[in-house]
Structure 1
Amino acid sequence: MQNTKRFCFSCDLKDDQKLIAEYKHYHSKGVTWPEVTQSLKDAGVVDMEIYLTGNRMFMIMEVDETFDLQKKAEMDANNPKVQDWEKLMWDYQQALPWAKDGEKWISLEKVFHLEEH
């Protein structure tokens, strides 16, 4: 079994039930663009899950030892299909109130781990 590392992020959706339903549809099996899922795998993402409560989302990424956030950002910036996807998703997403300009997914701080207690 390979070593993995976990990254957790949060982002909000626009608080509109129709838009939230559309966003969920884009992320359903067989609908998410294959170029986007392939770009995640190419960057070293082993698994990814997105959870939703109200309009707040939480993303959990399991990555392998080759994954690097900066490298992933560069790969995304140079992939026209990923850029098209990100532009489309921004129609549904909105920045968290404390996000910096242009920041979508905000890294979460781990405050508890049962294994450590």
Structure 2
Amino acid sequence: MKKYCLAVDLVDDPALITEYERLHKPENVRPEIRQSIFDAGVTSMEIYRTGNRMFMIMETDDSFSFDRKAAMDSSNPKVQEWEQFVWKFQQPLPWAKEGEKWVLMDQIFQI
């Protein structure tokens, strides 16, 4: 198992943040999006928010790689549709590379 932590910002608009959270409640998650996450080798995913900053923790199996997930996502029309839809809620971190959404975080402490 591997663990990855990533961050992205939401547009700082209370109504959009409320809607984004509603879309991510278990009963509202699109089954094809959930399945694409599992198919890529993600075994667990959690998202937390403070203000307009989000933090994701992903646990993955040995088959997971970011390149493989990107390739799978780019060939899945439902995932592409979802990503375009949620981008209206999200905004890149100031230091994100061009086209980068979720930014991989570096671990700096562990006990």
Residue correspondence of structure 1 range 1-117 to structure 2 within 5 A: 4-114=1-111
Unaligned runs of 5+ in 1: none
Structure 2: any 5+ residue segments left out of the alignment?
Answer: none
Task: Say how many residue pairs are matched.
Answer: 111
- TM (norm. structure 1) is 0.93
- Name the aligned partner's letter for residue 36 of structure 2: S
Is the partner of 2:93 in helix, strand or coil? coil
Identity percentage over the alignment? 53
Larger radius of gyration: 1
Shift of residue 108 of structure 1? 0.1
C-alpha offsets along residues 61-105 of structure 1, whole Å, 9 cap, x if unaligned?
000011111000000000000001000110100000111111100
TM-score normalized with structure 2 length: 0.98
Q: Residue by residue, what CA displacement relative to the aligned partner does 1:15-47 show, whole Å, maximum 9, x if unpaired?
A: 000000000011001111110000010011000
- Superposition RMSD on alpha carbons, in Å? 0.5
The structure 1 segments of at least 4 consecutive aligned residues displaced by more than 4 Å after TM superposition are none
Letter in 1 for 2:85: L
Quick one: which amino acid aligns to residue 44 of structure 2?
D
